[in-house]
Structure formats: C-alpha cells, structure tokens
Amino acid sequence: MELIKGLPLACMPENPKKGIIRESTDLNIMFLASSICLQSNVWMIDMHKKELIGPGPQTVSNWFKIEKYDKDYKLVFCPTVCNFCKVVCGDIGVKIAENGKGHLAISDVPFKIMFKKA
C-alpha cells in the first residue's frame, strides 16, 4: 500500500462546542494552508458534477462524514444537517478527468484515508 502525504486539513464538527469528531457525524473539512485566492478553503461537493471542489459558500454541500472502512477510514457525502434537503449520498473516491488528473468525487470505489496528527 502506497502512502501519500496530503496537505494538512482541519475537520470541524457540526457542534464545535463538543470538541470531538465521531464516526458518521457531519463535519466540515478545510485546508489549513492559506490561499492566494480570496475564497474559503472549505471543501464542498459540486452538486451538478458530483465532484469535490474546494472553495464555496457555506451550504449543505459542505458537510461530510468519516466512516470506518476496512482497517482505515473513508469520507462519505451524505449530510444530515438539513432535514428537508435532498442530496445524492455516496462515498468519496478518486475519479480521473479527461486531462488525466485525479480529483475527489462521489464514487462507487471509496478512497481509503488514514489520519496523522499535524
């Protein structure tokens, strides 16, 4: 198994006062590195393409879950923060674009992740 170190992230639970992120609970994910763009570093799903994109407004598409997957974890998009919102739920995996670059998107094949304290 090849380990690739990614960029540092912060995960923020729906209720930050609790201070603990539990499996299968809604959370926001954001890059810790500052950006030269004047946009948020919060991850979100592009609802039209079902692809994970970086910057975006604070909406239902910003909420993810961490779930156990084999001996590791996976990210899932299936927010429950909005009771009346209709979303397409699915695992987050890697899809290859026409230009050959991989990007995160809703996928039938989950991308395994491991966590390391930054």
Residue 41: which pLDDT band, with cuts at 50, 70 and 90? confident
Q: Mean pLDDT throughout 57-77?
A: 86
The pLDDT score that the predictor gives to residue 36 is 73
The pLDDT score that the predictor gives to residue 74 is 96
Q: Say how far apart CA 57 and CA 90 lie, in whole Å.
A: 21
- 89 versus 58: the higher-pLDDT residue is 89
Q: What is the pLDDT of residues 85-114, one digit of tens each?
A: 778 899 999 988 889 888 889 999 999 998
Q: Say how far apart CA 41 and CA 18 lie, in whole Å.
A: 23
Residues 6 or more apart whose Cβ sits within 8 Å of residue 26: 13, 14, 63, 64, 65, 79, 80, 81
Residues 6 or more apart whose Cβ sits within 8 Å of residue 92: 52, 64, 74, 75, 76, 77, 104, 105, 106, 107, 110, 111
Q: Mean pLDDT throughout 5-17?
A: 82
Considering the entire predicted model, what is its pTM?
0.78
Sheet holding 51-53, edge to edge: 44-46, 51-53, 102-107, 90-96, 72-77, 65-69
Q: Mean pLDDT throughout 59-82?
A: 90
Show the domains of the chain with their CATH numbers.
Answer: 9-107 (2.80.10.50)
